[in-house]
Amino acid sequence: MVDLLPSRARKGRGAVGRPAGRFDDTWAAPVDDGWWRDEGETPARIATALMPDAARKVITRNTSPDVPFDRSINPYRGCEHGCIYCFARPSHAFLNLSPGLDFETKIFFKEHAAERLERELRKPGYSCAPIALGVNTDAYQPAEDKLGVSRSILEVLQAFGHPVSIITKSARILGDLDILGPMAADGLVHVMISVTTLDAGLARLMEPRASAPAKRLATIQALAEAGVPVGVLASPMIPGLNDQELERIVEAAADAGARQAGYILLRLPFEVKDLFTEWLAAHYPDRAGRVLSLIRQCRTGNLNDTGFGRRMTGTGPYARLLQQRMARALKRHGLDKPMPDFDCSKFARPLAAGGQLALF
């Protein structure tokens, strides 16, 4: 019988381990070979690897009744923010990589995103509707500082007068205010800033490389002052861990200039269930059982529920109470009104480089 080594947290990383993906035909686990010293030994740091993603198209279509858009762009696959709850983690299993540490250390980027996007927008049959930027993984994760993929996409969208909605938990978005400000003046952009907690300590463990909560609130304020319609996404709400902060998050965001607020109940699809459970045991062993029990109460006895109409908000008394609390908080702070409409009428295909003007 071999002695398995316990999974241990690494500084700056969310996942505690590197479990195999559900499609892998092999499974590996660290074992004690006699050279491991003690639990006080610091685990080795893992460097981030950036790799090109040779996708031929960048616009992804969906027909989900649970989301308010039918097309999106994800500049990156994987996310260095390392949010332990990220519902996109299982997508790394399709690459034969672990949804655990691989998801946050092996990042794929669409190196020709701007060219691919322009080609798709120029197709004669393309019909304009808002594009959501950074839905699966954050468009403003650390790799953006070096690669600028998201900025190149925004430059194309601005040139075409194409509306875009952005979801991020990063203050890096402020580096693109020179684009977002003019687009907002033309009714072409909405931004939602994700604020999961106001507790810096919890944020550091739960989403280790994302902007600190105070910086996210400052980002809301800066966007609002620049005339960019901005809201807050208090998401995910995790019963027994951060859901007690819901009203405070909404209030702080409203004070910073947010015009809208929303939330999503924690989702734990596929490998995320085990990753989150392991993370809870490592960081909050005293409340892990309670948190998992409350999640099951909101998910028909399971840790996840994929049913349309309930997967975002859950079911049962605890979930209904959370919905009621959110409704009251929105009304109290005047955030129960929709964002301004997008102006799709400004969409126009500019003359391509070396192109020819139309005769009529």
**CATH code where residue 166 lies:** 3.20.20.70
Residue 164: predicted pLDDT:
98
Q: Specify the number of domains making up the chain.
A: 1
167 located within any domain = yes
How many angstroms separate the CA atoms of 225 and 44, rounded? 43
> What is the 8-class DSSP label of residue 90?
G
| 250: in domain | yes
Residue 105 lies in a domain: yes
Is 104 part of any domain?
A: yes
Q: What is the pLDDT of residue 37?
A: 54
Q: How confident is the prediction along the chain (360 residues), in pLDDT tens digits per residue?
A: 444 445 667 788 988 877 777 766 665 555 455 555 555 555 677 899 999 998 899 999 999 998 889 999 999 999 999 999 999 999 999 999 999 999 999 999 999 999 999 999 999 999 999 999 999 999 999 999 999 999 999 999 999 999 999 999 999 999 999 999 999 999 999 999 999 999 999 999 999 999 999 999 999 999 999 999 999 999 999 999 999 999 999 999 999 999 999 999 999 999 999 999 999 999 999 999 999 999 999 999 999 999 999 999 999 999 999 999 999 999 999 999 899 999 999 999 998 876 554 444
- Any bridge partners for residue 265, and if so which? 237
What global pTM score does this model have?
A: 0.91
Q: Residue 271 domain-assigned?
A: no
Element (H or E) spanning 182, and its range? helix 177-185
Distance CA 133, CA 236 (A): 18
- Please report whether residue 15 resides in a domain: no
Show the tokens assigned to 73: 């762009």
For position 54, what pLDDT does the model report? 83
- DSSP bridge partners of 263: 234
Please give the full DSSP string across 212-279, using - where no structure is assigned.
PHHHHHHHHHHHHHTT--EEEEEEEE-TTTTGGGHHHHHHHHHHHT-S-EEEEE----TTHHHHHHHH
Q: 3-state DSSP call for residue 164?
A: strand
| Cβ atoms 227, 185 nearer than 8 A | yes
Q: What is the pLDDT of residue 158?
A: 98
Structure confidence at residue 25 (pLDDT): 62
| Structural domain includes residue 199 | yes
- pLDDT value of residue 250: 98
pLDDT at residue 246 in the model: 98
Distance CA 328, CA 214 (A): 24
Burial of 262 (0-12, 13-18, 19+ CB in 10 A): middle
Domain span holding position 220: 49-266
Question: Is residue 340 assigned to a domain?
Answer: no
